[in-house]
Each structure stands twice: as C-alpha cells, then as structure tokens.
C-alpha cells in the first residue's frame, strides 16, 4: 500500500505540472517561481539541518571498531577500520562516504534445514546492495554535474569531458548516456528489493518509496525529453540562465515534458531537507564513524558530565562493614575503637 | 526456568517471513518467558537514594498485569526525557533522522537470526523509538501519522519498548554493517534511560547495580566473605601446584591495583580464570593489591544510564588513590572494557590522583602509551607483552588435551578492537587452536545473547534463540576440528556460554584465557603438576 500511495503521489505531481504548464499556460510560474522557491528551501533547509546536528554535543567517543586497535608495538593496527588519530579517521570516513565500506561488508544469513543432518546457519557474502547503491549514487552525482552545463556560460571543459565520457559508447542519437541507464538500474534494484523482499516490504514506509519513485520519475522524464521529445536544449538553457541571472523571460516553444521534469526536481529539492535523504549530510556526523578510538590515550570532554555524581564512598563502605573487616584482619582506615 | 524447545525443534520453528499484520498493529506478547523479572522494590528504593535523578516510581509490579502502575504523568515524563536526550546527544538525533531503512542490519542481529521476530531486526527495533520521534516531534509525523511511520506515545508502546529494548544486548553488531554507523546500542541505552524514569526496569540489572554500589561487587559479596573466597582459591592453588602464594587485599603502597569482574571470584568457571591471574602475578612477582571496595570490574550502569555507569565506575580511581596505586590492571570482561575504553576517562578522569602514572610493565619495561590517559591496562595486553619478551615459563603440553577456539566478546571487539592480544596469549599456551568461521569472529563476532544484563534464566528461550549463531559456529568447528574448548575474555560469557554450548554444541567447555595461562605457567618452586586448575588430571596423568 505504501508503494501505491507513493506512486499515486508522484503521478499527481506529473499531472499538476502537465496541466499547470501545458493546459493552463502558467509557464512562468513553473519555470521560475516554483524552482526558485524550491532551491531556496533546499539550501536553507539543508544548512539548518546540518547546523542543528552540529550544535548538539557528542558526550562520549563511541566509534564502532572494525579491526585491531592500536596497542603493543608489534601488533599491527588496522588503521582504516579502527583509527586512533585524526588522519586515520579521515581515511575511514573517506572510504565510508566514497566507497560505502560498511555496506561492502554486507552478508546474508542462510538457514539450511537439512533433514537428518546438522542444521547450519551460514553467512554468505552479499554485495548486490553495495553494488547497486554505488551505481545509483554515482550515476546521480554524474547526472547532476552534467546538468551544470545549463547553469554555466561558457561550459567548463571538465563538464564537457565528463559528458563525452558518459556517452562514450556512442549508441543512439542523441547519444545515450550510460548514467541514464545505470541510475534506472540502481533505483530500479533498490525499489524492487523493497517490493519483493518480505522483510524490507515490512519495514518500508511512504518515506522510503516516495523518494525512490520520485527519482525514477525524474530520470524517466529527463530521458523522455532527451531521447523522445528531443526538446530544444538551447531554449532550456535560456530559461535556466534567466533564472540564475534574474532575467526572467516567458519561455516559448518548450515541450511540456520539461516542466514535468523541472517540477519533479523542485519537489525533490523541497522534500530533501525534511527527509531521510539527509543521510547525505548525516553520514559525516555519525559518532560511530567519525571519531578516533583514542579515549584511553587522550582526555575527551563531556559537556554534560555531572560532577555531583560520585561513587558510594569508601568511608561509607568501611562504616558499614568495619566490624567484620576488622575480624577478618583486613586493613582499615579506622579500627572499631577509633570509629566509636 | 521455563521449559524450552529442543534444539532441532527450535531450529525448525525459525521463520523469517514477517506476519501479515503491520508491526504497529502486532500486539505485545507479554506471556511468561518473554521478559525478565522487574526489579525488587528494596533495591530501587536504595538506588533512588544513592544515585539521584535516574529512577522513578518505585513499586512492586508485574509485566503480565494490565496495569503497570505508571505515574499519572508518565507520558509527559517520557516525552520530555526523549526531547532532552535528543538535544544532549548528537548520536540519538542523527540516528533518528538519517536511517534509510536499507535493511542491511536486518539479518545481523542474533535475536532475529535465531527467532525471526521482525521487531528484532535492528532497523525495526530503532523504529519503535523513531516512530515516536516522528509522531511527537516532527511536523510531518504529526500531520500524516502512520503513513510516514509516525505514532504517539501510549502505554502499549511503552510495553513494547520494555519487551524489545530488553531483547537487545547492546552488542553493536548491526552498527558495524550500517552504512551510516547507526548504533542500536545507543538507541537501546536511551530507551532504557527513559523507562527508568517511570519505573520500568529488570531485576537482573538493578540488583547488581544496587549490590555493586553497596558492597563493591554485583554479587553482594561482603569484604570478609571476599577474603574467605580468595583464601579458598589460594588453598586450591596450593593443592594443585604445591606452592602457597600471597594475595594482598586492600593494602596500601603497591604499584598496581588489579580489578576484575566479580563473576571471576564467585562462579565456576570464572574462579579458574581468577586463579590463573593470581598464579601469573606470583610468577612475575607483581607488586599489586586487590580491593574489596572496588571488587567489581563489570559495570551494569552501562545497561542502566550514563550517570549510573559513572557512579559505579568512579570507585576504580577512588580506590587507586586511597591505596596509592600508580596504575590499574583490569581483568577479563567484555562490557567492563567498553566502559574503560570509551567512557571511563571522559566520565571520571578528574578523579585520578596525582600519584597515577602512565602504565609501565615492571617486568618488561613496556610503556602502555595506548593507556596513558586512563592509566588502565587490559590483562591480555599485559600478558601478551610478557610472553613476547619471554618472561613467562610456559608448558603448553599441559593443555594438550584442549582443542581450543576463541570467542571474541562483543565489546572488546566492536568498542575497543582487541583481537590479536588474546589470540597471541592463547596460541602460546595451547597446542591446538582453530578459528570459528570468518563471519562469526573478530569484529563480526556474535553475542552470547546474555549481554547487557540479559543473562537471566527466565528468558532462556530468548537466550538460546539468540545464541544460535554463536552456537552453530561452535558446533561447526566442534565437528570439523574436534574443538572441545571455547576460550573467552568476558565474565558474562563464562556464565552464559555454558548453557549455550550445552544446548547448541554439547561437549564443549568454556574457559577464560588466564585459566589456560595458569595451567601452562610454571611457577618457581612448584611441585610436579598432575592436575589442571579444575583439579582434573593433566594429560598423561589420567587414572587407568
């Protein structure tokens, strides 16, 4: 049901854009007002969220250690999975953010009920999630960078080069970008496992289906524009440059699919700071990953440390057990006569 | 102890397909065997007085009753406490916000693997709290409700928390696999703190906390009884080795204070590990003392609240100062070492007296610079250094009947990273050693399913289910390599792995690391050894 709600929600967005920019001729609103507002909400929302996390203290250093600690000289430390210094921790974060190192560890539990034999619980390597997640995120990144050509005049060489590489297979006209296919494969896989893995279906919310379907719809509408409607890219660049240079002019002759694509992207931008998509920022602030395992070596300050919390004192302990301790011959601060 | 299924029946009962009802609609099963008993009234009244601000609503109550006798404003207390912790802990706030429910953690929890209850998937365990976060604190959650996985705090939710946050052993295996490092232990700790505010607790944690506060150890052993136990062990060592050794108690002016979990003093097989420590200290002539006041290395405050943990932990430095010790040597314990490694100095560093110094091994001269701030060294680090420098006279053939494997305890693994030190020691004292399968050891190790205060008998079904992954890996090496001994560096393990091995891998015995060191160690002036520390015949001395 959650998946269907999400699909209907995205379809409703498509209809709104189609009717609004197409039938109702509100191109200016859909070309300038909506995306402009969405962009502001995205930036302000994103920054506010990061600040709200960052201003909260981390009372304790709680890294999850994934390898050998730094201890005796002759024992080799696993510096990337159990860092004890800042640079080592930065390396761990880099691998986490750029290569999804934790997800690479993923295993799958398999329970075999062999009649008459001893049952075995096995853990098999399961890298599909890692692979498709990586494909999805990197395709998304490359596509976003490619789109920067619409905002920049002249187009930087690096973007041209990236675009050339992305279309290096030279299939179809206009040239097919590999990332377009890969993002569909990545997002498609992520959606399919939510739908077909019973455990995942059980935990999936609208919050999980909606952004996936929305991103799929953005990719599909973009591909429709490029490969089927073959929209006028120069006209679109004029619209976009108008937006960035505040020279708004009523666009004309652009296919309605552009407005659908832009409206969906605007929705994503508005939704982003208030959703789980903030894992983009949050991964950098996770205390189990971004802290060194060094609290036996260096002092760390907890702003909430309460000096009023003290251990039950030795004096109170000896007062309670003085007699039996004396009889047992244990050393005392005060013997029973002194205490009396 | 409730009657539980046979192992093969239990295995067949595991089903990973979730129920037809959504998790918010699945009713709580509070039948006996599903929860640990609540704390006794006298313990809570004592603790409210001793450690203020942590515990509310002391009373006698029963989880099977409909009415849990909560205070009339309980909801306000919990919601306000939740809000307060969201502001005080970045971890909690970030973990509430960024989970994408990718499900990578789902089959990493031992309780899920052995039981199949979807609320034991770490992601869903955290959602039990995250749903309240959305429903009480976010605008979208307040407006859209269930559609966005939001709900408001109700009595059934609190009961659900009681069930499932006491089915988490805070082992952090899930956090290793999470792409954002979301740590369910952190979520569980917060949920437990909130429950304590309104008097929801379990006795197996609170009684040790109360005992530890008053007598210095979990078991409530009073100082004179502690001395008797130590003397008893000294006698046993004399029986085994023919040598009488001296054990200082509460003495001032020694270089080192040694603190180990009290389970080692009290329960079989921990006592053999304790004897191993005492023999080691005699062999190297360590200038040390034990303390009856700080006679507990373990800290069930970790499973209660941050301030309770701090209050209990403070005794270590307080006693080191009183006795004038320069540094602290710590025994084999799991969660104790999470506290020492990740919390101790942050909480109680200011209590360190000026006499405390960076630990230096008096035998080898090795400076433990990795402990220069806490001044506390793990005995496996200490012994590994001794062996590396050739300071111990060892005869591993005394352990030649042992085919050993090593169980990495959760906290030394994932909250410290101590893997090579105990292995090095173990391989030097036994002839035969085999690792369990790779996905079940080192940082990927599985919990004994009795950690975080859950090693109580009334939830044996839950424990044996949670013990399946460890038990099955053990059974695998038992059959493949003939492993007959599982060694560990954790006092809770030494208590919980015995029923686990009896159930899943019968015939495997559980030992501490230093029990095997004690067996292999040749003391100056000892007589011929014919038996091990358990007073069983050594290989070659079996009676015909």
Give the range of the structural domain holding residue B172, as residue numbers without chain letter.
7-30+56-200
CA dist B477 and A162 (Å) reads: 52
CATH number at residue B343: 1.20.1050
- Asked if B487 contacts B513 with a C-beta cutoff of 8 angstroms, the reply is yes
Which residues are CB-neighbours of B489 under 8 A, at least 6 positions away? B332, B333, B334, B380, B409, B412, B418, B422, B512, B513
* B296 vs B539: CA distance, rounded Å: 34
What pLDDT does residue A115 have?
A: 60
Strand order in the sheet with B376-378: B288-289, B256-259, B327-330, B376-378
**Residue B164 sits in the same domain as residue B19:** yes
B331 vs B258: CA distance, rounded Å? 7
- Residues 6 or more apart whose Cβ sits within 8 Å of residue A312: B50, B213, B214, B311, B315
Q: According to the model, what pLDDT value does residue A242 have?
A: 82
Residue of B225, B417, B440, B470 to mutate for A, most A C-beta atoms under 10 A:
B417
ipTM, interface predicted TM-score of the complex? 0.94
B421 touches chain A (CB under 8 A): yes
* CA–CA separation, B185 and B334 (whole Å): 15
Residue where a domain stops, chosen among B200, B235, B267: B200
CATH number at residue B409: 3.40.50
User: pLDDT grade, residue A298 (50/70/90)?
Assistant: very high
Q: Which two tokens stand for residue A317?
A: 């302990």
For B206-256, write each residue's pLDDT tens digit: 999 999 999 989 889 999 999 999 999 999 999 999 999 999 999 999 999
pLDDT class of A118 with cuts at 50, 70, 90: low
CB burial string B468-484: b at 16+ within 10 A, e below:
bbbbbbbbbbbeebebb
- Decide if B536 is inside a domain: no
- CA distance to partner chain A, nearest, from residue B28 (Å): 17
Is the pLDDT confidence value at B114 over 90?
Answer: yes
| Residue B171 contacts A where some CB pair is shorter than 8 Å | no
pLDDT at B544: 56
Interfacial B residues in 90-109 facing A (CB < 8 Å): 90-91, 93-95, 97-104, 106-108
**Nearest-angstrom CA–CA distance, B7 and B26:** 27
Fold of the A2-309 domain: Fumarate Reductase Cytochrome B subunit (1.20.950)
Residues B313, B256: one domain? yes
* B211 belongs to a structural domain: no
Q: Could you give the number of structural domains in chain B?
A: 3
d(CA B247, CA B342): 30
Q: What is the DSSP letter of B521?
A: B
Residue of A nearest to B146 (CA): A205
Give me the residues paired with residue B329 across strands.
B258, B377
Q: Which pair of tokens denotes residue B75?
A: 């909801």
Q: Which residues of A touch B214 (CB under 8 A)?
A: 312, 317, 320
- Here the tokens at position B158 are 């609190």
Task: Report strand pairing: B485-488 vs B288-289.
Answer: unpaired
Residue B438 has what DSSP assignment? Answer: G
- Average pLDDT over every residue of A93-121: 85
Pick the last residue of a domain from B337, B353, B388. B388
B343 interfaces chain A, CB cutoff of 8 Å: yes
State the CB neighbour count (10 A cutoff) for residue B365. 9
Query: What's the residue count for chain B?
Result: 544
Q: Which residues of A touch B175 (CB under 8 A)?
A: 64, 288
Please tell me whether the overall predicted TM-score, pTM, comes out greater than 0.90 for this model: yes
Q: How many Å apart are CA B313 and CA B305, to the nearest integer?
A: 12
Cβ of residue B314 closer than 8 Å to a chain A Cβ: yes
Rounded Cα gap, residues B504 and B483, in angstroms: 14
Q: Say yes or no to pLDDT of A119 above 80.
A: no
Is there a domain that residue B154 lies in? Answer: yes
Give residue B537's pLDDT.
Answer: 95
The mean predicted confidence, pLDDT, of chain A is 92
Residue ending a domain, choose from B388, B404, B424: B388
Q: Which residue of B has its CA nearest to A302?
A: B346
Residue B439: inside a domain: yes
Share of chain A above pLDDT 70, in %: 97
Q: Cα dihedral sign for B24, B26, B31, B34?
A: negative
Looking at the domain assignment, is residue B72 inside a domain? yes
Q: Which residue in chain B is spatially nearest to A279 when comparing CA positions?
A: B98
Same domain, B486 and B403: yes
CB contact B358 to A (< 8 Å): no
Q: Which chain B residue shows the shortest CA-CA distance from A328?
A: B224
Residues of chain A positioned with their CB less than 8 A from the CB of B222? 321, 324
Model confidence at A327, in pLDDT bands (50, 70, 90)?
very high
Do both B273 and B185 map to the same domain? no
- Categorize the per-residue pLDDT at A113 as very low, low, confident or very high, splitting at 50, 70 and 90: low
Q: Token digits for B140? A: 């979208």
Cα separation, B514 vs B278, in Å, equals 10
B130 lies in the same domain as B247? no
pLDDT of residue B542: 85
Give the residue-averaged pLDDT of B313-319: 97
The answer, for B137 touching chain A at a CB cutoff of 8 Å, is: no
* For chain B, counts of helices (H) and of strands (E): 24, 8
The pair phi, psi for residue B121, each rounded to 5°, is -75, 130
Count of CB atoms situated within 10 Å of the CB of A146: 18
Residue A250 pLDDT? 63
CATH number at residue B122: 1.10.1060
- B93: tokens are 């706030």
Residue contact B342–A62, C-beta within 8 A: yes
Q: What does the pLDDT average to over B463-489?
A: 96
CB contact under 8 A, B227 and A71: no
The nearest alpha carbon in chain A to B223 belongs to A325
**DSSP line for B50-109:** HSTTS--------TTSS-----TTHHHHHHHHHHHHHHH-HHHHHHHHH-----TTGGG-
| Most A-contacting residue of B97, B302, B382, B489 (CB-CB within 10 A), to test interface | B97
The confidence band for B91, taking pLDDT boundaries of 50, 70 and 90, is: very high
For A109, the closest chain B residue by CA position comes to B107
Contact between chains at B177 and A103 (C-beta distance less than 8 A): yes
Residue B36 lies in a domain: no
| Contacting residues of B for A282, CB less than 8 Å apart | 94, 97-98, 180
Nearest-CB residue to A325 (from B104, B223, B228): B223
**Residue B79, in any domain of the structure:** yes
pLDDT band, very low/low/confident/very high, at A232 (cuts 50, 70, 90): confident
Q: What is the pLDDT of residues B166-185, one digit of tens each?
A: 999 999 999 999 999 999 99
Average pLDDT of the residues in B99-109: 95
Do B99 and B163 have their domain in common? yes
Q: Which B residues 54-83 touch A at CB under 8 Å? A: none
Give strand pairing partners of B259.
B330
Q: Which of A56, A290, A137 is nearest to B102 (CA)?
A: A137
pLDDT one-digit tens code per residue, B2-30: 578 999 889 888 989 999 899 999 999 99
Yes or no, beta carbons of B98 and A283 under 8 Å apart: yes
Handedness of CA A167, A173, A174, A180 (dihedral sign): negative
**DSSP codes joined into one string, B355-423:** T----B-TTT--B-GGGTTT-EEEHHHHHHHHHHTT-S-B-GGGGTT-EEEEEPPHHHHHTT---HHHH
Q: Does residue A173 have a pLDDT over 90?
A: no
B176 with A59: Cβ contact below 8 A: no
Q: Has residue A224 got a pLDDT over 80?
A: yes
Query: What ranges do the domains of chain A cover?
Result: 2-309, 310-340
Shared domain check, B380 and B270? yes
Residue A243 has pLDDT above 70, yes or no: yes
Judgement on whether residues B286 and B144 belong to the same structural domain of the protein: no
Same domain (yes/no): B263, B380: yes
What pLDDT is recorded for position B2? Answer: 54
φ, ψ of residue A204 to 5 degrees: the values are -80, 135
Q: Is the pLDDT of residue B316 over 70?
A: yes
Average pLDDT, chain B: 95
For residue A123, what is the nearest residue in chain B, using CA coordinates? Answer: B439
Asked whether residue B402 falls in the same domain as residue B482, the answer is yes
Alpha helices (runs of H) in chain A, residue ranges in sequence order = 2-17, 27-28, 34-54, 86-99, 101-104, 128-147, 157-166, 178-196, 198-203, 206-223, 233-245, 256-271, 279-282, 314-328, 336-339
Lowest mean pLDDT among B39-43, B218-222, B282-286: B218-222
| Residue A340 confidence (pLDDT) | 81
Q: What is the pLDDT of residues B370-402, one digit of tens each?
A: 999 999 999 999 999 999 999 999 999 999 999
Taking the Cβ of residue B315 and every Cβ of chain A, the question of whether any pair is shorter than 8 Å is answered with yes
For residue B91, is it within any domain? yes
- Can you tell me the distance from the alpha carbon of B3 to that of B434, in angstroms, rounded to the nearest whole number? 34
| A·B CB contacts under 8 A | 326
Q: Residue A223 has what pLDDT?
A: 95
Is B42 at the interface with chain A, CB within 8 A? no
Tell whether the model's pLDDT for residue A16 goes beyond 80: yes
Which of A1, A64, A83, A129 best tests the B interface by mutation, with the highest count of B CBs <10 A?
A: A64
**Do B349 and B227 lie in a common domain?**
yes
Residue to substitute from A65, A114, A205, A308, interface B, most B β-carbons within 10 A: A65
| Closest to A278 (Cα-Cα) out of A50, A10, A7 | A50
- B377 and B235 in one domain? yes
Task: Sort out which chain B residues have CB atoms less than 8 A from A207's CB and list them.
Answer: 148-149
How confident is residue A152, by pLDDT bands cut at 50, 70 and 90?
Answer: confident
Q: B318 contacts in A (CB within 8 Å)?
A: 311, 313-314
Chain B residue with minimal CA distance to A60? B343
Average of per-residue pLDDT across A278-303? 96
């Amino acid at each position: 049901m959650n998946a269907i709600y999400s699909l209907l929600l995205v379809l409703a967005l498509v209809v709104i854009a189609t009717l609004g920019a197409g039938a109702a001729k509100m191109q200016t609103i859909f070309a300038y007002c909506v995306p402009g507002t969405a962009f502001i909400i995205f930036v302000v929302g994103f920054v506010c969220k990061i600040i709200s996390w960052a201003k909260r203290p981390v009372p304790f250093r709680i890294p999850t250690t994934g390898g050998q600690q730094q201890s005796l000289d002759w024992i080799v430390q696993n510096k990337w999975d159990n860092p004890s210094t800042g640079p080592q921790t930065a390396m761990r974060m880099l691998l986490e953010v750029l290569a999804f190192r934790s997800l690479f560890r993923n295993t799958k539990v398999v329970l075999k009920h062999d009649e008459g034999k001893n049952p075995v619980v096995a853990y098999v390597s399961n890298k599909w999630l890692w692979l498709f997640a990586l494909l999805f995120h990197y395709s998304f990144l490359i596509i976003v960078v490619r789109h920067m050509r619409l905002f920049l005049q002249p187009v930087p060489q690096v973007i041209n080069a990236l675009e050339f590489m992305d279309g290096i297979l030279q299939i179809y006209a206009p040239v097919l970008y590999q990332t377009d296919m890969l993002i569909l494969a990545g997002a498609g896989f992520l959606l399919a496992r939510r739908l077909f893995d019973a455990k995942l279906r059980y935990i999936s919310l609208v919050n999980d289906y909606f952004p996936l379907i929305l991103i799929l719809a953005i990719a599909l509408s973009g591909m429709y524009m490029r490969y089927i409607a073959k929209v006028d890219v120069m006209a679109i660049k004029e619209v976009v440059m108008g937006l960035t240079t505040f020279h708004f002019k009523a666009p004309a002759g652009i296919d309605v699919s552009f407005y659908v694509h832009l409206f969906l992207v605007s929705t994503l931008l508005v939704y982003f700071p208030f959703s789980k998509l903030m894992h983009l920022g949050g991964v950098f602030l996770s205390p189990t990953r971004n802290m060194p395992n060094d609290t036996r070596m260096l002092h760390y300050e907890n702003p909430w440390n309460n000096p009023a919390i003290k251990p039950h004192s030795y004096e109170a302990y000896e007062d309670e057990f003085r007699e039996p301790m004396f009889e047992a011959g244990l050393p005392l601060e005060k013997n029973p006569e002194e205490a009396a | 102890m409730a009657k539980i299924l046979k192992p093969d029946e239990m295995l067949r009962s595991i089903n990973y397909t979730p129920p037809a009802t959504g998790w918010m609609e699945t009713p709580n099963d509070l039948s006996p065997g599903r929860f640990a008993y609540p704390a006794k009234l006298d313990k809570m009244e004592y603790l409210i007085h001793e450690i203020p601000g942590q515990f509310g609503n002391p009373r006698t109550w029963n989880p099977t009753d409909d009415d849990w006798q909560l205070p009339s404003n309980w909801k306000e207390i919990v919601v306000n406490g939740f809000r307060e912790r969201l502001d005080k802990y970045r971890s909690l706030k970030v973990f509430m916000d960024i989970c994408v429910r990718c499900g990578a953690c789902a089959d990493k929890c031992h309780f899920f693997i052995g039981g199949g209850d979807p609320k034991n998937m770490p992601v869903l365990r955290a959602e039990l709290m995250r749903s309240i976060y959305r429903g009480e604190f976010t605008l979208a959650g307040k407006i859209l409700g269930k559609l966005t996985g939001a709900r408001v705090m109700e009595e059934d939710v609190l009961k659900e928390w009681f069930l499932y946050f006491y089915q988490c052993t805070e082992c952090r295996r899930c956090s290793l696999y999470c792409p954002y490092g979301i740590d369910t232990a952190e979520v569980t700790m917060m949920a437990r703190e909130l429950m304590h505010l309104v008097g929801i607790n379990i006795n197996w944690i609170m009684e040790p906390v109360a005992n530890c506060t008053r007598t210095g150890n979990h078991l409530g052993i009073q100082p004179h009884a502690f001395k008797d136990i130590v003397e008893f062990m000294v006698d046993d060592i004399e029986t085994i080795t023919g040598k009488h050794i001296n054990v200082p108690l509460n003495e001032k002016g020694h270089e080192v204070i040694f603190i180990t979990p009290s389970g080692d003093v009290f329960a079989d097989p921990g006592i053999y590990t304790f004897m191993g420590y005492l023999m080691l200290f005699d062999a190297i002539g360590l200038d040390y003392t034990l303390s009856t006041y700080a006679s507990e290395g373990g800290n069930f405050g970790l499973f209660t609240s941050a301030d309770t943990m701090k209050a209990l932990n403070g005794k270590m430095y307080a006693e080191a100062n009183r006795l004038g010790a320069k540094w602290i040597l710590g025994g084999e314990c799991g969660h104790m070492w999470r506290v020492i490694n990740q919390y101790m100095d942050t909480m109680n560093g200011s209590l360190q007296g000026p006499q405390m110094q960076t630990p230096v091994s008096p035998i080898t001269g090795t400076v433990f610079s990795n402990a220069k701030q806490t001044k506390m060294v793990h005995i496996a680090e200490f012994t590994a250094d001794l062996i590396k420098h050739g300071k111990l006279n060892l005869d591993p053939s005394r352990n030649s009947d042992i085919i050993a494997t090593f169980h990495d305890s959760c906290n030394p693994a994932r909250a410290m990273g101590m893997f090579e030190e105990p292995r090095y020691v173990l391989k030097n004292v036994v002839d035969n050693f085999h690792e369990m399968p790779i996905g079940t050891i080192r940082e990927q190790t599985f919990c004994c399913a009795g950690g975080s205060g859950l090693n109580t008998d009334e939830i044996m079904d839950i424990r044996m289910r949670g013990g399946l992954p460890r038990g099955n890996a053990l059974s695998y090496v038992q059959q493949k390599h003939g492993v007959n001994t599982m060694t560990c560096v954790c006092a809770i393990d030494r208590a919980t792995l015995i029923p686990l091995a009896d159930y899943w891998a019968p015939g495997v015995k559980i030992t501490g690391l230093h029990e095997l060191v004690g067996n292999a160690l040749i003391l100056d002036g000892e007589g011929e050894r014919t038996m091990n520390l358990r007073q069983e015949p050594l290989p070659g001395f079996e009676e015909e």
